[in-house]
Homo-oligomer: A and B are copies of this chain.
């Protein structure tokens, strides 16, 4: 995962549920692939399969955008690509700065998925003076001192933070002060931002931890051989010293 909005009471962003917004990019990707293969129309069933969701959900999602399908036929691929792009705001160009050009920042700078979606990397910024001028992804790295100027000169409203955790909050504050109102944070720390600024986070290790949780559970399953059986075991009342019931068993 990688998720996490900050503030913004809930949904309401104009009637489109947040969960739906989060899936639109997924649909868009699947549709773009179909478009490249010159597929003219697609049914909710097919598109849902390509996007990895179920078809009722997809239809409901699209219904929030309007009635863009044709009963008995399906959806026009090109038309839907356009509508979703517009809804997501991808028909305009979004200049983005990436702050913190380590391995991850370089990976982001090189990532093709940005440019193809309306995002333009306006600058790469790093605090290390030794990096200044070094080209990364065909673009010279600029020093943090230039941050404010870069943002205002380019009208940047979206910033990506890929610095070490310790530097993230400070970078965040400078970005916000300079006019950035949306931040994608890769640093493993919670950013605090003023009202009106959106933060989303991607934490590489959190995803692995969630997988580990499920993995652990799989490993323990042969013991009990499932079944609607003896459950509960309990209101968990393990309190006391760390003692008891170590992990493995469903308890």
Contact = CB atoms under 8 A, between A and B. Distances in A.
Interface of A: 1-4, 6, 8, 13-15, 21-22, 24-26, 28-30, 50-52, 65-68, 76, 78-79, 82-83, 86-92, 94, 96, 102-104, 106-108, 110-111, 113-114, 117-119, 157-158, 160, 181-184, 188, 190, 196, 198, 200, 202-219, 226, 228, 230-231, 233-234, 236-243, 246-248, 250-251
A204 B202 contact: yes
The 8 A-B pairs at the shortest CB distance, nearest first, are namely A2-B2, A1-B3, A89-B216, A67-B240, A103-B107, A78-B233, A66-B246, A113-B205
Contacts of A212: 88-90, 94, 118-119, 158, 182
B113 A204 contact: yes
Given A108-B204, A238-B68, A182 B3 contact: no
Nearest to A64: B236
Contacts of A241: 67
Among A26, A184, A210, chain B packs the most CB atoms within 10 A around the CB of A210
Nearest to A136: B103
Copies of this chain held together in the complex: 2
A250 B91 CA distance: 16
Contact of A67 (B104, B196, B202, B243): B243
A208 B242 contact: no
A184 B207 contact: yes
B91 A210 contact: no
Contacts of A96: 208
